[in-house]
Amino acid sequence: MKELRLMKGNEALAEAAIRAGADAYFGYPITPQSEVIEYLMRENPVDRTGMQVLQAESEVAAINMVYGAAGCGKRAITSSSSPGISLKMEGISYLAGAELPCVIVNVVRAGPGLGTIQPSQSDYFQAVKGGGHGDYKLIVLAPATVQESVDFVRLAFDLAFKYRNPVMILSDGIIGQMMEKVELFEQQPRIAEAEEWATVGKKPGKDSVIVTSLQLQSEEQEKVNLRLQAKYREVEKNEVRFETYQCEDAEYLFVAFGSCARITRKAMEMARNKGIRVGLMRPQTLYPFPAEELHRLAGQVRGILTVEMNAGQMVEDVRLAVNGVTGVGHFGRFGGMIPSPDEILNALEKQFIGG
């Protein structure tokens, strides 16, 4: 039975974690993400599904608890906001290195440093390009609605276990705090058979399983790197997700993700009312990036404007994908300021149409 509710993005995401059959949540409060842990504490899912919820003593502790749970083959999730995610980065690199599945939610606020608690997209680089050390990739999902905050939790667990890789959900203060109608999926069973790689105790006659990211022999470490790279190519081949709006006849193209894509869509509607034929591409996966489709679209438009709540991060991936086929510009507000649809339309006209 599907249920329709009006929920905050953060609360909907927390409910989705329970319903996705998560075994454990480990976290530490920080605005604008605290509703995730507050909802889980209130809901006390140990009574519903047996899922454990624990407020750790710090973000560093929380991510290492995720490592421990994931090492046992359990479905673990953690959430934080930008400064807290920076603290988790060492653990995230270890999770990627040990090829452990888990879900990490970043409800982004503006930085650098403690910054402000208002919404931002300034952690794109950190999420997509690394953040932690070493040559690794996270699968990064960017919800634009409360509904996607729910659906992507389930998808994130599926992808994490399919590829034995950490998956990040890159939300932000807008998506986390806003309320929308949401359809919740049915409760998924929690207890699953432990996977072969899980450290759940050596059985007689079986080899012992070791979960580690340490390889002191370079020859061995290179094999690990090659295996990771082969996995990332598979991810790039299979898991690209995006949406396009009114691109069929578009002369210009917006590219935007997450909450910014919602605002940009309004700018697109305003532009169309003025007779400017503009479309919108919204990557739902930031890694893997929808480079191929973007390259194809670039061939049919006179210019592309990337709109982000940062000083220009995704625009680098857009330029790589477009590869000079057409002009690529960037419009951004930052520091917790949210661009208005008027500003975005203005930027398009100024940069490309000659206003």
Contacts of 30 by beta carbon, 8 Å cutoff, 6+ apart:
59, 80, 81, 83, 84
Instruction: Tell me if 31 contacts other proteins by CB under 8 A.
Output: yes
Please give the Cα distance from 322 to 232 (Å, whole number): 21
Residues 108-147 that bind other proteins (CB under 8 A): 116-118
Total number of residues binding other proteins (CB under 8 A)?
Answer: 25
Q: Which of 162, 266, 272, 295 binds other proteins (CB under 8 A)?
A: 266
Nearest-approach distance from CB 267 to other proteins, in angstroms: 8
Closest distance to other proteins from the beta carbon of 240 (Å): 23
User: Which C-beta is closer to other proteins: that of 32 or that of 97?
Assistant: 32
What's the Rg (C-alpha) of the chain? 21
Among 51-59, 134-142, 175-183, 209-217, the segment contacting other proteins (CB under 8 A): 175-183
Pairing mode of beta strands 285-287, 139-141: antiparallel
Is 173 a residue that touches other proteins (CB under 8 A)? yes
| 263 touches other proteins by CB under 8 A | yes
- The stretch near other proteins (CB under 8 A) out of 17-25, 164-172, 174-182, 213-221 is 174-182
State the minimum distance, in angstroms, from the CB of residue 232 to other proteins.
33
Output the CA–CA distances (angstroms, integers) from residue 196 to 37, 77, 207, in the order listed: 31, 21, 10
- 187-216 binders of other proteins (CB under 8 A): none
Q: Which secondary-structure segment (H or E) carries 27?
A: strand 24-27
Q: Which long-range contacts (CB under 8 A, 24 or more apart) does 217-226 make?
A: 224/97, 225/135
Among 48, 133, 181, 227, binds other proteins (CB under 8 A): 181
Helix (H) or strand (E) holding 282: strand 278-283
Stretch that binds other proteins, among 99-107, 173-181, 205-213, 271-279 (CB under 8 A): 173-181
Place of tokens 């605005």: 31
Taking the least distance from each CB to other proteins, the nearer of 224 and 338 is: 338
| Mode of pairing for the β-strands spanning 278-283 and 242-245 | antiparallel
Among the listed residues 168, 167, 133, 163, the one whose alpha carbon sits nearest the alpha carbon of residue 228: 163
CA 322, CA 315: separation in Å to the nearest integer?
Answer: 10
| Stretch of residues binding other proteins (CB under 8 A), selected from 132-140, 178-186, 210-218, 326-334 | 178-186
* Alpha helices (H) in 50-135, listed in sequence order: 59-71, 82-97, 124-128
Span from 46-54, 58-66, 172-180, 323-331 in contact with other proteins (CB under 8 A): 172-180
Neighbours of 28 (CB within 10 A): 23
172: enclosing H helix or E strand: strand 166-172
Q: Which is nearer to other proteins, 231 or 266 (CB)?
A: 266
| Binding of residue 79 to other proteins (CB under 8 A) | no
Q: Which stretch binds other proteins (CB under 8 A): 214-222, 226-234, 263-271, 298-306?
A: 263-271
Instruction: Count CB-CB contacts under 10 A for residue 241.
Output: 15
Cβ-based nearer residue to other proteins, 5 or 162? 5
Contact residue for other proteins among 56, 243, 341, 349 (CB under 8 A): 341
Pick the binder of other proteins from 209, 291, 338, 353 (CB under 8 A).
Answer: 338
Residues making contact with other proteins (CB under 8 A): 4, 6, 31-32, 116-118, 173-174, 177-181, 259, 262-263, 265-266, 268-269, 338, 340-342
